[in-house]
A and B are shown apart, each in its own frame.
Chain A
Amino acid sequence: MKYLPLLLSALLRKKTRTVLTLLSVAAAFTLFGMLDAVRVAFNAPQSVAGIDRLVVASRFSIIQPLPYGYLVRIEKVPGVKAVAYANWFGGVYQDPKNFFANIAVSLPSYLDIYPDIVLPEQQKQAFLTTRTGAVVGESLARRFGWKIGDRIPLQATIFPHRNGGNVWTFDLVGIYHAAQPELRGIEQQLLFRYDYFDEGRQFGQGTVGWYIVKVEDPADADRVAQAIDHLFANSSDETKTQSEREFQLSFAKQIGDIGLIVTAIMGAVFFTLLLLTGNTMAQSIRERIPELAVLKTIGFTNRAVLLLVLSESVLLLLLGGGAGLLLARLGLPLISAASSGQLDLVMPTQSWLLGLCLMLLIGFIVGLPPALRAMRLRIVDALAGH
């Protein structure tokens, strides 16, 4: 501790440079904290215990549809309270960059199973009775300036219309909002009637993308999930019953190995950080050669100077990295809320520990070359300015 003023003096020598380096380190560790939370979320073992809604999808792939006939069989499974179904449509509004979820849903069962979707009664009735009707979340309506009565054309990317065209047109009959602010992510969806979809598409009639099952007792969810999967075992369309969260993650996993992607990004970030802080430390030591020579002159041993420079580097990483992880910790609930709770991002103790290890390791790696240089410094040459 008594050497802390010396370390701080070294860091405060060029305040702007230190602040910029700290910001870089903090940014890198904020990214690390968030990406590691994503990695943990995708790799965590999932359980359906205590969950009142389950999703039944194909065991092999979520893009593999299930027969419509499963509906009545699932409804008969003991412990099942209600069943709805849905199908990913994948339509594009005007431009592919205007991505949002558009889903064909069973009515009224879907709305019954999702009380999180709050729709005024009159609009709900309009949705139930309008064949081409669609409802959108408030956020999505705001994004595109839609209002009730608008006609929304979506360009099909998977399901061409049986009339030969690719454009499906929907009548906007309702705008819903999420029951709770932390679920506002569901307001980024467009829902339309499954029967309209099933009749209109060129192929796949009589199949659904997935079933949503409401269980009578959440404590019984595990057994219900197993019973459903058991029901269709060894059939041509085996099922996998899972939590909604796991189902959502399966969707994201379609783009690739999330763990690998996250690790690759973090690797690139930390490699850049190594170069950046390594350069900063090297430059800082170069400028302070006379000061280090003075320390050695007044009696600091070679080893003491080595440790001082290494400590300085580690301290820089700990300060910036600690701030970064704290920022990530504060930001994660906001991201979780934006995903309507489907991405439950948390920073477990292992992330903090891994972050700490990375700070120590990077601090050591970037500090070692200048520390060795400082240790090997010949006082006479350094004081003479050689």
Chain B
Amino acid sequence: MPDANPLVAIRGVSKVYERGRQKVEVLHHVDLDIPTGDFLALMGPSGSGKSTLLNMIAGLDVPSEGSIKVAGQRIDRLSANELARWRAAHVGFVFQFYNLLPALSALKNVEMPLLLTRLPAARRRRHAAVALELVGLSDRATHKPGELSGGQQQRVAIARAIVSDPALLVCDEPTGDLDRHSAEEVLALLQRLNRDYGKTMIMVTHDPKAAEFARRTLHLDKGTLIGQDR
């Protein structure tokens, strides 16, 4: 039975890119509800539109048609600056290649999203330390990204994603650059954040084993949702 008040409500969303004179429809009339506390895996072949859908849910891109509501707010109507502020308050991001700033320590990297808040420096540091502790890297706080393994860097990136306590975490191939052991550690951590802390997760992955950590998996092909596992 569908959730009456889903955290994410997508209605009739299409996305068309123009390449020269050619128009390419990447998403075609997608309808999707994601309830609060869900852990959703989006799977599909390359070019199926899964990253495009993820980007629109996270407010990184806007649909050509249709509406996207997150926590009751129409984010497809927000301006670029409003979207930036909305992302800062509501969404945490985890990327395939971690994208940490190499010259900053792990703690400073985690603290970065809090620079956009009015929190004083001491509280920013305290929040960042808590987030690092949550991902099990308190003892690596002063290390720079280059001094950490790939799995540790991704855990720092997860700490950065959760430090401002967003309701929604979006992960784009979070284990795509990791070995199996590190990947499982990262996925277990995401699962714990979903299960124990109620974070709503949306994860794009190619890896069926990674998708097994999610509560449900949606499949996309040629811009259309074609089915769901579990």
Please list the residues of chain A having a beta carbon within 8 angstroms of any beta carbon in chain B. 2-3, 5-6, 8-10, 12-13, 290-291, 293-303, 379-380, 383-384
Q: Contact: A8 with B84, CB < 8 Å?
A: no
Q: Contact: B97 with A5, CB < 8 Å?
A: no
Q: Contact: A301 with B84, CB < 8 Å?
A: yes
B16 contacts the other chain (CB 8 A):
no
Supposing A297-B60, A299-B84, A380-B61 touch, asked if A12 and B99 sit within 8 A by C-beta, the answer is no
Q: Contact: B103 with A302, CB < 8 Å?
A: no
Q: Contact: A3 with B93, CB < 8 Å?
A: no
Chain B, 46-76, contact with A by CB distance < 8 Å: what is the 0/1 string? 0000010001001011000000000000000
CA distance A293 to B172 in the complex (A): 14
Contact of B101 among A2, A6, A302, A383 (CB under 8 A): A6
Q: Contact: B103 with A8, CB < 8 Å?
A: yes
- Count chain B residues whose beta carbon lies closer than 8 angstroms to a beta carbon of A: 28
Q: Contact: B87 with A299, CB < 8 Å?
A: yes
Supposing A297-B87, A302-B80, A302-B81 touch, asked if A6 and B93 sit within 8 A by C-beta, the answer is no
- 16 more CB-based (< 8 A) A-B contacts, given A5-B108, A6-B112, A297-B93: A5-B104, A9-B103, A13-B103, A290-B99, A291-B99, A293-B99, A296-B84, A297-B58, A298-B93, A298-B116, A299-B89, A299-B116, A300-B88, A301-B80, A303-B81, A379-B55
Q: Contact: A6 with B115, CB < 8 Å?
A: yes
Please list the residues of chain B having a beta carbon within 8 angstroms of any beta carbon in chain A. 51, 55, 58, 60-61, 80-81, 84-85, 87-89, 93, 95, 97, 99, 101-104, 108, 112-113, 115-116, 121, 160, 172
Closest to B56 in A: A380
CA distance A269 to B111 in the complex (A): 41
Supposing A5-B108, A380-B55 touch, asked if A298 and B113 sit within 8 A by C-beta, the answer is yes
CA distance A296 to B116 in the complex (A): 11
CA distance A295 to B160 in the complex (A): 12
Closest to B87 in A: A299
Minimum Cβ distance to chain B for residue A296 (Å):
7
Contacting residues, chain B, for A6 (C-beta < 8 A): 101, 104, 112, 115
Supposing A299-B113, A300-B116 touch, asked if A9 and B99 sit within 8 A by C-beta, the answer is no
Contacting residues, chain B, for A5 (C-beta < 8 A): 104, 108
CA distance A297 to B55 in the complex (A): 10
Minimum Cβ distance to chain B for residue A228 (Å):
68
CA distance A298 to B93 in the complex (A): 7
29 interchain pairs, CB-CB under 8 A: A2-B115, A5-B104, A6-B101, A6-B104, A9-B101, A9-B103, A293-B99, A294-B93, A294-B95, A297-B58, A298-B160, A299-B88, A299-B89, A299-B113, A299-B116, A300-B84, A300-B116, A301-B80, A301-B81, A301-B85, A302-B80, A302-B81, A302-B84, A303-B81, A379-B55, A379-B60, A379-B61, A380-B60, A384-B51
Contacting residues, chain A, for B87 (C-beta < 8 A): 297-299
Contact of A12 among B93, B95, B103 (CB under 8 A): B103
Contacting residues, chain A, for B84 (C-beta < 8 A): 296, 299-302
Contacting residues, chain B, for A301 (C-beta < 8 A): 80-81, 84-85
Minimum Cβ distance to chain A for residue B192 (Å):
22
Closest to B61 in A: A380
Contacting residues, chain B, for A10 (C-beta < 8 A): 103
Q: Contact: A383 with B95, CB < 8 Å?
A: yes
Minimum Cβ distance to chain B for residue A13 (Å):
5
Contact of A298 among B80, B81, B88, B104 (CB under 8 A): B88
Minimum Cβ distance to chain A for residue B16 (Å):
14
Contacting residues, chain A, for B81 (C-beta < 8 A): 301-303
CA distance A9 to B115 in the complex (A): 14
CA distance A297 to B169 in the complex (A): 12
Contacting residues, chain A, for B112 (C-beta < 8 A): 6, 295, 298
Closest to A298 in B: B113
Closest to A5 in B: B108
Minimum Cβ distance to chain B for residue A112 (Å):
68
Minimum Cβ distance to chain B for residue A328 (Å):
30
Minimum Cβ distance to chain A for residue B83 (Å):
9
Contacting residues, chain A, for B60 (C-beta < 8 A): 297, 379-380, 383
Contacting residues, chain A, for B115 (C-beta < 8 A): 2-3, 6
CA distance A10 to B51 in the complex (A): 29
Minimum Cβ distance to chain A for residue B15 (Å):
10
CA distance A291 to B102 in the complex (A): 9
CA distance A290 to B51 in the complex (A): 16
Closest to A299 in B: B88
Closest to A293 in B: B99
Contacting residues, chain B, for A291 (C-beta < 8 A): 99, 101
Contacting residues, chain B, for A3 (C-beta < 8 A): 115
CA distance A8 to B51 in the complex (A): 33
CA distance A383 to B116 in the complex (A): 21
Contacting residues, chain B, for A384 (C-beta < 8 A): 51
CA distance A380 to B103 in the complex (A): 24
Contacting residues, chain A, for B80 (C-beta < 8 A): 301-302
Of A2, A295, A298, A300, which is in contact with the most chain B CB atoms at under 10 Å from its CB? A298
CA distance A300 to B113 in the complex (A): 8
Minimum Cβ distance to chain B for residue A377 (Å):
11
Closest to B60 in A: A379
